[in-house]
Amino acid sequence: MEKSQQRSILFAGDSVTDCGRREDPRKLGDGYVNVIAAEVAQRGIAVSNVGIGGDRVVDLQRRWAGDVLGSSANVLSILVGINDTWRRFDSNEPTTAEAFEQGYRELLTQAAPHFELIVLVQPFLLPVTEDQQDWAQDLQDKQDAVARLAAEFGAALVPAHERLTALAPHHGGNAALAHDGVHPTSLGHAELANIWLAAVNV
């Protein structure tokens, strides 16, 4: 696939990536993607965002060809997984770790020939309710799958969960970075952007 001469990054994922981008004239949203876009613009790197709130791996699979494989971007960044855990607990729609990993691997197998670099952002949770403590093992299995896939495909791995968890006490607790444990606050998005930029060489 022929790429444009200008370097560019495509962000795909769920609501953490979406962050209002479909109502934004710039199509970036007001989250970590926007923060990263402002930073890399200084280096002449363009950014685009195809995140959609609520998406799981299976949802990305349905729209992958149209939203991702046809992109002229050089770099692809993916953040997905928390909804694959969340739907088990709020809708009784579990996604097994095996199904998650298989679906994610299919996405990466299709994407690998189209991009110079793929970035996998570790799905994260900063529990703010007692119920969310029960999500930990389900999400851990998916975090482990993402780490394996990053190694398998030579992708950059962004350790979002570990870094945000470590940062939360310095900001007064989890809610300061993610008001509901899942969706980052403005501060949480800024920290997530910093973690991404520290982990990815673009």
| Share in percent of the chain as helix, strand, coil (round to 5) | 55, 10, 35
Per-residue pLDDT of the chain (202 residues; tens, 9 = 90+): 344 457 999 999 999 999 999 999 999 999 999 999 999 999 999 999 999 999 999 999 999 999 999 999 999 999 999 999 999 998 999 999 999 999 999 999 999 999 999 999 999 999 999 999 999 999 999 999 999 999 999 999 999 999 999 999 999 999 999 999 999 999 999 999 999 999 998 8
d(CA 88, CA 85): 6
pLDDT at residue 3, rounded to an integer: 47
Whole-model pTM: value is 0.95
